[in-house]
Amino acid sequence: MASIGLNIGLQALLTSQSALDIVGHNVANANTPGYSRQNLGISANGALNLRGLSIGSGVHADIVNRTVDNLLQTRLVSQSSALARLDSQLDVMGSIEALLGEPGGLGLSAGLDSFFSSISEFSSSPSELVLRTGMVQSAGSLASQFNQLATGLSTLQSDTANQVKYNIGQANLIAQDLVDLNGQISEIEAAGMPANDLRDQRQQALQQLAQHVDIGYTEGSNGIVRVTVGGRMLVGETRAYELKSKVDQTGGVTLNIEGSTIPLNVARGAVSGLESLSQGYIPGLQQNLDHFARNFILEMNRVHSTGVPASGGFTQLTAEHAVLDQDLDGELRDELLSRAGLPFDVTTGSLYVNITNDNTGATNTQRVDIDSSSTTVGQFIDRLNEIPGMNASLNGSGKLQLNSNAGVKFDFGTRLDSTPDEYGSFGGGAASLGSQGAGPFALSNGDTFDFTGPLGAFSVSVSTADFAEISQATAAELASVLNADANFQANGMRAVDVGGRLVVQTTNSGATASFDLTGGSGIAALGWTAGTTVTGQTTSVAPTISGSYSGANSDQYSFVPLGDGTIGTTPGLEVGVYDQNGLLVTTLSVGEGYAPGTELEVADGISVSFDFGSLSATHGDVFAVDLLADSDTTDVLVAFGLNGLFTGTDAATMAVRADLENDPNLLAASGSGASGDNQVLLDMLRMQTEGLEGLDGSSFNEFYNDFVGDVGFKVSSTSNAREVEGYLMENLELRREQVSGVNVDEELVKMIEFEQNFQAASRYIQVVNDIHNDLLQII
């Protein structure tokens, strides 16, 4: 009996001691991250049959339990992944915001404002060298800001990709720790002992791993946790499989896992957040920035390339961009202009080239037509070389080289051709007969034109093959047919297209120059009459155009006498001016009372003067002048990089043209070369707020504001999402603390309880011992 009582007391002492040890362990780890509260499982010993009674034999400690909610633990791991993804993104996007520097005085927005302000100031005084230099410097500063922003985004993308690699490395270390913990837990629990603290460490490691990559995990019956990433094994029973990352030259990141070449997709965790920025968001920003810079370069160069520098023109220009041998045949001239590897598109249209005489100031404007589907580099160069005073070639680098002859300069401005009657078809010295209206002309197959020239009578016939559509024959097509006829050439005659009208002339001038139109079935279509005799004259009206065209759209004015007579002499003699649609613009009185050489105002800033001479409406006198709002409708100057303000094609390569930066006098302020003309500057200013096709109707300011606004929205939406996910995480952690956390006050209460139990057990043993001694004395 005494031994039973002593055993009950001893077990009570030991159980209380164990309980106190666990209370101490809990209190000691009250602030240990991931620690789960432990408690002692206590059970009553089996009863003994003594003295006919079933008497209990005391208490014993069963096991040390770990207080956890496994479902809650799983949710915490998952939420850690979601939160880490947003945290990693916010950190990088904060760097993007800092890089943009908006709002504030250091961002690209301020650079754009400064650039356009410098243009505005210069436009008010286009002759001021200081303001000219200031605009060039402002353009250089803006280009540098584009460069810095491009470099910053590129660096940030590279850094973000490297952060992915760092996180992958950390994940691999944690995966190996999990393998080690799995082994220890399995070994301990196989011996029948709980591995509570090791399980806490493992759970903490799982949560840390989830912060890097999105994981799934399951625990087997042997206590080993298997971890998967993207559906593939990361931590098995005995080993971890290494995660790998590869960063390509563009900053893109490819993930895979040991033993597999298939790219690994990670949905959450820091790696997921960083990867989405490195491969998607940042490249998207770079693409939008480059799109903005490219269109800025394009639009500014479109305007500047057709401007005239302070020197009044060029004697030499070298293209910035080289022609590429796209078909690899070793020949550059056979490349289509539209497919010659130039960085900007060449479209169908016309380029106007001005040749200005240094001594007289007279300007000859030549039109170069380009068909994007057929014009080759060689054909374009040959056409430039046909312009009197112009020499064009490709240098050894494949870049277009332009040079002028001595005594002349060239430019591509919207100059007016000051001497537009190139062929003398308006009261000139040659015998000249023009159609009574502009084409197209309704000809038929086999139609003839009969002439008598110095060598006698001859006839020229036309066929369907000579025209794209013979019933809609153009003046240029018909002129080509006539000029190809051997008899036409032999009689010293030529045909030209003047403002869409056909003009037939002698190649010599003076009173002896003549020819007869004797008949033919095709003459009626041109408004001609059989039996017409045309002779030349010793005087020449020689019209002169002056002023600057201010119209919004390009046009062509044709000047046609409304009667026959002599300039300054014939009463009521008038000249009608018609636009390219055949509508009358104005009528000019040039008869009696008009002093030859006097300027007459036409329209849209244009004036004209006429010298003494005779005009004939009967013989279809005409001259035409091209009025250019845009002297390059093909973008061929931008494509080659001729007379641009900027070089480069994107934000990283954008720069002010080197020779212009060194010599601000090359900056084009004028479109016409006229003194005080600031049209180029005004056109540049307009683009600050005008919608542009290349930017989907947005202006430069609007596009960049949207660019910055999108970044701000992304930061705001991510921040809001992080706030929500953070709240959920806090809630889960609070619930875990309620379930598994250590409440020191509660532990102190338990300590007092078990201390009292210990004291009671000690007293019980003492009483049992005393009773035992008393019994021994009685016996």
Dmax (CA) for the chain in angstroms is: 174
Tell me the percentage of the chain whose pLDDT exceeds 70.
Answer: 99
The single-letter code of the amino acid at 591 is G
Q: How confident is the model at residue 456 (pLDDT cuts 50, 70, 90)?
A: very high
| DSSP per-residue letters across 274-295 | HHHIIIIIHHHHHHHHHHHHHH
What are the DSSP E strand ranges found in 67-199? none
57 pLDDT higher than 80:
no
Q: How confident is the model at residue 595 (pLDDT cuts 50, 70, 90)?
A: very high
Task: Write out pLDDT tens, residues 514-559.
Answer: 999 999 999 999 999 999 999 999 999 999 998 888 888 889 999 9
Tell me the percentage of the chain whose pLDDT exceeds 90.
Answer: 69
User: What pLDDT, on a 0 to 100 scale, did the predictor assign at position 13?
Assistant: 82
Site of tokens 């009208």: 501
Spatial neighbors of 170 by CB under 8 A, at least 6 apart, are 212
779 pLDDT higher than 80:
no
Task: Select the CATH number that applies to the domain covering 315-415+628-640 from these four: 2.60.40, 3.30.390, 3.90.700, 1.10.287.
Answer: 2.60.40
Return d(Cα 410, Cα 637) in angstroms, integer. 14
- The residue-averaged pLDDT of 685-709 equals 91
Task: Write out pLDDT tens, residues 236-279.
Answer: 988 999 999 887 777 678 888 988 888 888 889 999 999 989 88
2 pLDDT higher than 60:
no
Q: DSSP letter at 522?
A: T
Indicate the pTM of the whole model.
Answer: 0.80
Return d(Cα 78, Cα 88) in angstroms, integer. 16
Q: How confident is the model at residue 214 (pLDDT cuts 50, 70, 90)?
A: very high
753 pLDDT higher than 90:
no
User: What pLDDT, on a 0 to 100 scale, did the predictor assign at position 261?
Assistant: 82
Return d(Cα 116, Cα 127) in angstroms, integer. 18
Which 3 state secondary structure label does DSSP give 354?
strand
User: What pLDDT, on a 0 to 100 scale, did the predictor assign at position 377?
Assistant: 95
Comparing C-alpha atoms, which of 508, 353, 509, 496 is closest to residue 423? 496
Q: Decide the pairing of beta strands 600-603 and 606-609.
A: antiparallel
User: What pLDDT, on a 0 to 100 scale, did the predictor assign at position 415?
Assistant: 83
Q: Are 65 and 38 in contact (CB under 8 A)?
A: yes
Site of tokens 């009967």: 618
755 pLDDT higher than 80:
no
What would you report as the CA-atom Rg of the chain, rounded to the nearest whole angstrom?
Answer: 47
- The residue-averaged pLDDT of 371-395 equals 95
Q: Which of 433-442, 471-480, 578-587, 736-745 has the lowest mean pLDDT?
A: 736-745
- The residue-averaged pLDDT of 304-324 equals 94
Query: What is the distance, to the nearest Å, from the Cα of residue 452 to the centroid of all Cα atoms in its chain?
Result: 64
| DSSP per-residue letters across 93-121 | HHHHHHHHTTTTTSSHHHHHHHHHHHHHH
Task: Write out pLDDT tens, residues 4-32.
Answer: 777 887 888 888 788 888 888 989 998 98
Comparing C-alpha atoms, which of 591, 559, 586 is closest to residue 574? 591
Alpha-carbon separation of residue 292 from 110, 305, 703 (angstroms):
16, 19, 8
User: What pLDDT, on a 0 to 100 scale, did the predictor assign at position 334?
Assistant: 92
- Phi–psi pair at 518, nearest 5 degrees: -90, -20
- The residue-averaged pLDDT of 579-589 equals 95
Task: Write out pLDDT tens, residues 638-675.
Answer: 999 999 999 999 999 999 999 999 999 999 998 888 77
User: What pLDDT, on a 0 to 100 scale, did the predictor assign at position 560?
Assistant: 98
- The residue-averaged pLDDT of 567-585 equals 96
User: What pLDDT, on a 0 to 100 scale, did the predictor assign at position 192?
Assistant: 86
CA neighbours closer than 13 Å in the CB half-sphere of residue 384 = 25
User: What pLDDT, on a 0 to 100 scale, did the predictor assign at position 20?
Assistant: 85
Mean pLDDT for the chain?
91
Task: Write out pLDDT tens, residues 599-645.
Answer: 999 999 899 999 999 999 999 999 999 898 889 999 999 999 999 99
